[in-house]
Structure 1
Amino acid sequence: MGTGFTIDTCLKVARYGIHSVLSLGDDELIERVREYHCKEYGIHYEEIEGGSEDHRAKRITAYLNQLNLLVNDQFEALRQQSFETGKDINRYFKLLPDGDLKREYNRVMSDALPVENKKRRQDELRRLMRPGCINVNVMTKVDCNIDRIDHSMHEPDKTDALNGLKGFAESDVRSSIIFSAGMNPRLYGAIAKYPDFFPDLTGAIKKQVVLKVSDYRSAAIQGRFLAKKGIWVSEWRFESGLNCGGHAFATQGMLMGPILKEFKERRMELIETLFPLYEAALEKTGREIGGPPPHRFTVQGGVGTHAEHDAILKYYEADATGWGSPFLLVPEAVRIDDGHLEKVRVAGEKEIKLTRSSPLGIPFWNLLTSESEAYRREQIADGKAGSICPHRYLKFNTEFTKKPICRSSKAYQALKIKEINGRDDLDVEQKSAHVQETTDRACICFDLSAPALKVMNLPTTSKLNVCVGPNARFFDKVSSLREMVDHIYGRIDLLKGENRPNMFLNELKLYMEYMAEEVERVRLKLSNQTHDYFEGYKLNLLNGIEYYREQADNLVAKGRDNFLSQLDTLAAEIDAMVLPAPLALEPA
């Protein structure tokens, strides 16, 4: 969801028991939003200046503490309300999924109960209420070690990701830190410095670790590394490699269904493997624990209907599903201006594309009609390609310079284009493609902060970028929080009348498109993937299709025959795909 859209979502939804996630990537944005809320709520504000000692970690800690205080105040005020008609406390219970607590609320609110009995049971309902968690995200690969003020090198323990961890660890919040984008050993090794990540005397862990993973193998490798440090993974958050928002970490054609099957079958094996390592590491620190702490397995990426949500919970035995991009059409929950809200609403396949916009070199879902993209194209047309790099969070490239620079910067793009034009191994078409891929890089670290700043009417020169995922193509209604929650739980259908394929078909099509694009990139010398890689990719897709054929009854609530027919059509298209020729080996 980027940095700006959900920077203060917890203040909108946590009182109703809804968890949300904010990115710790941009401490400049965090500090400005903290100042904004201090003024809004009449709290004394003391600036933490950029360049001051430990400023990034201190800004994050101060903001999280502020959010924690405000959310707790909101929640307690809500909990103390009467259950009269129109009171917000009723909204808390009406948003709940159907279950024991919801059923008890409905019974208590019926007219059949005596007044005294009703009051006692209303108090019991209040006791069972819980606020949503203020969870945070750290993208492990965004770990710049260059000071953004004086451009000096940070100490090894002062990098951006480690300072993000420190800011969270030293805050008051009881929640989770979500690590995405793969393993960062230095970052993971630092977690054990902070006591809140270890179980207390009751076995509870105040600050929990969530790993966002794209397959079982990644989960096992990262889990073992952390367990040996005495850190328990409280949640394994599987995300589709392509059917997601923002950065996309594609697998080699391994599809969601077969991956979820492996998680389902080997979930307890994973816990049984990790717990002895975890227990031994705790013993070295003088801690004891009676058994494995709780863990959750959750799924996100492309879930768009209640039937899909239900299939994942029931068939794959997941504990929850995550929803991101559809909430960009819920202004009650996120920060988005009216203009871009409308652009997301009407966006389809042509407007929401997997691009090369990220300077990290990772495919990135992008709204092509955003202010950021329009400005980037204008700059190219004016011969001014690239960004002035105002935030400098993604300065990692040393291809042409001793000091790292960002691949979205004017400096890098000018040097890269000069190099491309001087290459003798590229023809005219290939040179054009290389130049375009170079100038496709956008200033995402600065422009993703714009949604919050613009809606809050705070001055900024950033141009709003929208990292919306492909699932949003099927949602075309601006919704209230109640409507979106009711859609998730099957009480209403926001996609009624939409010709939307099943989520597993959508992901399969995305992987086919990605494969075709990669084949073309090989031809243009933008990729060095081999024939063997594509053969493996193709085989994984076909194996995934066969799995879906076998499991159609379990995965598709309605339209099974159409689902199977589409699988047959897509399998034929995959069989017909032309792959790059194998490399010819010259005789020795």
Structure 2
Amino acid sequence: MQTTNHTFSIPVMGTGHSIDSPIRVAPYGISSVISIVDDLLIEKIRKFYCRKLDLPYNNIARNAEDGRAKRITAYLDLVQEIVQDKFEKIKNQPFFEENDKAKYFELLPKGSMPRRMYDRLLETDAGKVRDKLACELSRLMRPGSIDVNIMAKVDGLNYEKNGTPMSAEFSDANAALRGYANSKLSSSLVLSAGFNPRLYNYITEFKDFYRDATGKIKKKIILKVSDFRSALIQGKYLAKKGLEVYEYRIESGLNCGGHAFASDGYLLPSLLKEFREKRDMLSKTVRPLVEKFYEDEGAGFSEEWEIMEPRLTVQGGIGTSGEAQRLLDDFGMDATGWGSPFLMVPEATTVDKTTRKLLENAKEQDLYLSGVSPLGVPFNNVRNTGSEAWHQERIEKGKPGSPCPKGFLEANTEFTEQPICTASNQYQLLKLDQINQMDKDEAEKENMRQKVLDKACLCDHLGNGALIDLGILKEHRAPQAICPGPNIAWFDRTYSLREMVDHIYGRGESLVSSKRPHMFAKEMVMYVDYLEDLAEQADGNKGELRKLTKFRKNLEKGIEYCLKIADSESYKGENLASISQTAAEQKNRIVEIFKKIEEK
């Protein structure tokens, strides 16, 4: 797998919004990530592209043997075929014309070697030197990587028609992994949402994740992590099995899209500082374990194999070229991930027009950390989506919850032997009846009811925007959910791919207002908000108090580090002044929060 010349990538966004992003951007050398959680959505997208491009299509039925894995393999192979075809057509275009080949090179960062060569080409007179330079430039072109994402903890067991549990290889995560492993792709598997030993052990079944005779790895592993300790533990666990981590993808716990996995008060700058200072441990600690594995296997570990230390990348709330540059230069990151802003780029993502208009008009107060996820994990959301309206209508009709058409998030066994989803109609009716019979005051019961009714059908609704955008489903038949980070409030219209990439690299006028708070300032506020919620829920026991005190200590230490950053020289477009102002406000808020705790 070739590394890209770009210093950013497009992360996974929901189950549907980046479902075909590689088809859109990989021919231009930009890497992106597809979610392979929803194989039923994937099958519909595969059918759409086969029909659109007049390619053969054979339906893989829902009840087909190993259907989940086969659907994923078939789609990924199709994406590879489409991307390669589009890329070759661009590669074969002539230079010195306003075409996609010019766009490919003009999108590259100014400092990259191919971009410098391209600029030199444009200044070179016709002749053998220019022809040789043009030939070399075409040879250097590479498509972006077609990466896939598996949420490690979304790994429900499946059942035969008679109710007998199927073997572990047919669990949701394992089947998705098998679908990717059997594909023709040479790319990366992004593992997110926690550590799953069963899934990690299953990776060892597939040779593409190991070095071949030349030392190359066809399918690489990327771990999305929230702290250094977790990265090291998981890296060592995999290394003992001979599996190497190609990249650690660090994400802000709260200032991100989708599910929010909050840390114990560790702000992103503090986490990045630790990664920067201990980076060599990720390779020095792990390499001997990998070498031992190959020695034990008999083939041995060749000294001729090229061993690179794992890449470090970061994502979550980045909004200006200056913020990205600080992450690259000051913290030594190899690349950045830009998610939510690309929801406003129709050339890159599938978002229906109604939802995109909702995002265009969304203000900071419309973006919130919600309780809609059946996983019980806070979920970044925006108010007034089609999904929200659909659920409210069902509540008013006395039919709360969803019929649960896909069941990927079935995990609750409170009322049933087989797991069901907390967003399902079945669960919500049972839970509401239980609450109604409780010996509690009405206000407390109403609060409990609301938490039950908040749960939404993310399995189905997160993919509907793609189906509407591609014309597969009509809007009235497909309630749309979307999961932007709060950063989206500052991107208030649709943009071309060129506009967004130029913004990322600081070329031309910024797409966001100079008043936009720095990403570090925004994260501060979100963590103090989160601390306040924890404090309100606490019942005052000593264990909870210790937890809150630890959270406060880490948070205050992080704020002090942010203040040091605020005193440094700013990069282009950085609103460092907002960090100092926000820090003062949030430190006062923390004092007030703990005063209330003491009063309790």
TM-score range (shorter-chain normalised) is: over 0.9
Distance 1:27 1:152, change over 3 A: farther
Q: Partner of 1:542 in structure 2?
A: 556
Q: Distance in 2 between matches of 1:505 and 1:131?
A: 36
Query: Partners in 1 of 2:166 and 2:140 — Cα distance?
Result: 46
The answer for the alignment partner of 1:96 in structure 2 is 108
The whole-number CA distance in structure 2 between the counterparts of 1:505 and 1:555 is: 16
Q: Match for residue 448 of structure 1?
A: 462
Q: Which residue of 2 aligns with 1:503?
A: 519
Match of 1:384 among 399, 423, 430: 399
Q: Is the contact made by 2:535 and 2:597 (CA closer than 8 Å) also made in structure 1?
A: no
Q: Distance in 1 between matches of 2:105 and 2:70?
A: 36
Are positions 1:350 and 2:404 aligned together? no
1:414 aligns with 2:429: yes
Q: Please report how far the alpha carbon of residue 580 of structure 1 lies from its aligned counterpart in structure 2 after TM superposition.
A: 6.9
Inter-partner Cα distance in structure 1 for 2:42 and 2:578: 48
Partner of 1:108: 121
SS of structure 2 residue aligned to 1:299: strand
C-alpha separation in 2, matches of 1:561 and 1:69:
48
Structure 2 distance, partners of 1:138, 1:238, is 16
Alignment correspondent of 1:334: 349
The amino acid that maps onto 2:463 is S
Work out the CA distance in 2 between the residues paired with 1:393 and 1:559: 41
The answer on whether the counterparts of 1:326 and 1:475 sit within 8 Å (CA) in structure 2 is: yes
Question: Structure 1 counterpart of 2:120, which letter?
Answer: R
- The 3 A distance-change label for structure 1 pair 320 and 555 is farther
Whole-Å separation in 2 of the counterparts to 1:437 and 1:528 = 26
Flag the 1:529–1:68 CA change in 2: closer, same or farther, 3 A.
farther
Answer with 454-463 or 574-583: which moved more: 574-583
Q: What is the distance in 2 between the residues matched to 1:357 and 1:423? A: 23
Q: Distance in 1 between matches of 2:219 and 2:596?
A: 48
Pair 1:187 & 2:205 matched: no
Identity of aligned residues (%): 42
CA shift, 1:538, in A, is 1.2
For residues 266-300 of structure 1, what are the alpha-carbon distances to aligned partners after superposition, in whole Å with 9 as ceiling and x for unaligned? 01012101111111112222342436444200000
Deviation at 1:202, TM superposition (A): 2.5
Distance (whole Å) between structure 2 residues aligned to residue 200 and residue 493 of structure 1: 47
The Cα shift of 1:403 comes to 1.1
C-alpha distance in structure 2 between counterparts of 1:400 and 1:106, whole Å: 66
Decide which of 58, 64, 79 is 1:67's aligned counterpart.
79
The 3-state SS of whatever aligns with 1:157 is: helix
Q: In the superposition, relative to structure 1, how do residues 450 and 292 fare at CA in structure 2: closer, same or farther (>3 Å)? A: same
Residue 416 of structure 2: aligned partner: 401
Give the superposition deviation at 1:566: 2.8
Q: Describe the shift of the 1:205–1:281 C-alpha distance in structure 2 as closer, same or farther (beyond 3 A).
A: same
Q: Give 2:183's aligned amino acid.
A: S
Greater Cα offset, 29-38 or 113-122: 113-122
Corresponding residue of 2:210: 198
Mean Cα displacement is larger for which, 15-24 or 567-576? 567-576
CA distance in 2, matches of 1:151, 1:464: 32
Is the alpha carbon distance of 1:177 and 1:528 closer, same or farther for their aligned partners in structure 2, counting shifts above 3 Å? farther
Bigger mean CA deviation after superposition, 261-270 or 574-583: 574-583
Q: Indicate whether 1:33 and 2:45 are aligned.
A: yes
Match of 1:373 among 370, 388, 391: 388
**Matching of residue 143 in structure 1 with residue 155 in structure 2:** yes
Deviation for aligned residue 1:567: 1.5
Assess if the C-alpha contact under 8 Å between 1:534 and 1:579 holds in 2.
Answer: no
Q: Which runs of 5+ in 2 are unaligned?
A: 1-12
The aligned counterpart of 1:320 is 335
How many Å apart are 1:190 and its aligned residue? 0.7
Distance of 1:149 and 1:436 partners within structure 2? 34
Note closer, same or farther for the CA distance 1:560–1:36 as it changes in structure 2 (3 Å cut).
closer
Alpha-carbon distance, 1:7 to partner: 0.9
1:454 counterpart SS class:
helix
Partner of 1:267: 279
Matching residue within 227, 236, 243 for 2:255: 243
Shifted more, 434-443 versus 195-204: the winner is 195-204
Residue 10 of structure 2 corresponds to which residue in structure 1?
A: none
* 1:51 alignment partner in structure 2: 63
TM-score normalised by length of structure 1: 0.95
| Pairs aligned (count) | 580
> Which residue of structure 2 aligns with residue 302 of structure 1?
317
Q: Provide the rounded CA distance (Å) in 2 between the counterparts of 1:95 and 1:390.
A: 41
The correspondence of residues 450-465 of structure 1 with structure 2, limited to 5 A, is 450-459=464-473, 461-465=477-481
One-letter code aligned to 1:431: K
Deviates most, 503-512 or 372-381: 372-381
Q: How far apart are 1:143 and its partner, in Å?
A: 0.5
Q: What amino acid is aligned across from residue 199 of structure 1 in structure 2?
A: R
* Alpha-carbon distance in structure 1 between the residues aligned to 2:274 and 2:309: 20
Aligned match of 2:448: 434
1:572 to 588, 597, 600: 588
What does residue 281 of structure 1 align with? 293
What is the one-letter code of the residue matched to 1:545? I
Once the two structures are superposed, what CA deviation does each residue of 1:410-463 show, in whole Å capped at 9, x if it has no partner?
Answer: 111111112222233x43222111111111000000111101211222237431
Alignment of 1:530 with 2:551, yes or no, is: no
Please state whether the residue corresponding to 1:509 is helix, strand or coil.
Answer: helix
How far the C-alpha of 1:560 sits from its partner, in A, is 4.4
- What letter corresponds to residue 554 of structure 2 in structure 1? N
Please state how far the C-alpha of 1:126 moved relative to its aligned partner: 0.3
- Tell me what 1:485 maps to: 501
Give the deviation of 1:40 after TM superposition.
1.0
* Matched residue type, 2:265: G
Normalising by the residue count of structure 2, what TM-score does the alignment of the two structures yield?
A: 0.93
- Compared with structure 1, are the counterparts of its residues 440 and 151 closer, same or farther at alpha carbon in structure 2 (3 Å cutoff)? farther
Per mean C-alpha deviation after superposition, the further-off stretch among 151-160 and 468-477 is: 151-160
